[in-house]
Amino acid sequence: MLLKDIKSIIFDCDGVLVDSEAISCYALNIVFKNQFGIEIGNDYSEVLGTSVKFALKYYLDQNKISKYDIIDLAMKKEEAFFNLASEKLVSFENCENFIKLLLDKSIKISVASSGSHEKIEFSLNKTNLLQYFDYRYSSSDVKKGKPAPDLFLYAAEKLDVHPSNCLVIEDSINGVIAGVNAGMQVIAFPGSFSKDQLVKAGGHYVSNGYAEIIELVARFF
């Protein structure tokens, strides 16, 4: 791992800043149960880190459902998420301390998430992190979401930082691949995926949490 010449850190949101992956997946299950009367199971590995429309289409195809309104389903999924997250959503331990450390060191920070702008703002506001992020980017801002590199490249362009000077923090295989393909350094959090899976996807370093990353920043920045 290099952690060299880093001028900007780009955070994923779900599973990195806020502990929302399980909530988001449960919301997806609610939509399919209410709208189609089916259970989609508990293996969400293929859709973690992707947009809500990608996730919906994946399970619609898996269940051979051909008649649907993708926009309406996406709205219902967001509504289910907001209802669940309003009571359960929290940020990760030491996350805010890490953010403050970066700002003290004048490192640009941003969020680049597969979620909608509304979901990003809701999640950050709910966990008192919104105040730190003036720069927030969604998969809706680009043509191709993760695992394509477009979203991270878009964020780097908006921040006026070369991709090689950006560090991505991700938790999904799709997100790690996107960061690597954008030419950025990538730190991954194991949660839904194992350390071996994240390393195989190209993650340059797999961390156990923000306390460890704070130590890395103290050593390398």
Domain limits of the chain?
Answer: 8-19+90-220, 21-88
Q: Which two tokens stand for residue 139?
A: 């998969």
pTM of the entire predicted model: 0.92
**How many secondary structure helices (H) and strands (E) does the chain include?**
9, 6
The domain made up of 8-19+90-220 has a fold known as: Rossmann fold (3.40.50)
Give the pLDDT confidence score for residue 217 in this predicted structure.
80
Q: How far apart are CA 146 and CA 53, in angstroms?
A: 12
Give the pLDDT confidence score for residue 1 in this predicted structure.
57
Does residue 188 sit in helix, strand or coil?
Answer: strand
Tens of pLDDT along 190-221? 888 999 999 999 999 999 899 999 988 877 77
Q: How far apart are CA 15 and CA 32, in angstroms?
A: 22
Give the pLDDT confidence score for residue 84 in this predicted structure.
95
Strands 108-113 and 166-170: unpaired
Tens of pLDDT along 151-190? 999 999 999 999 999 999 999 999 999 999 999 999 999 8
Mean pLDDT throughout 128-149? 97
Tens of pLDDT along 40-90? 988 888 899 999 999 999 999 999 999 999 999 999 999 999 999 999 999
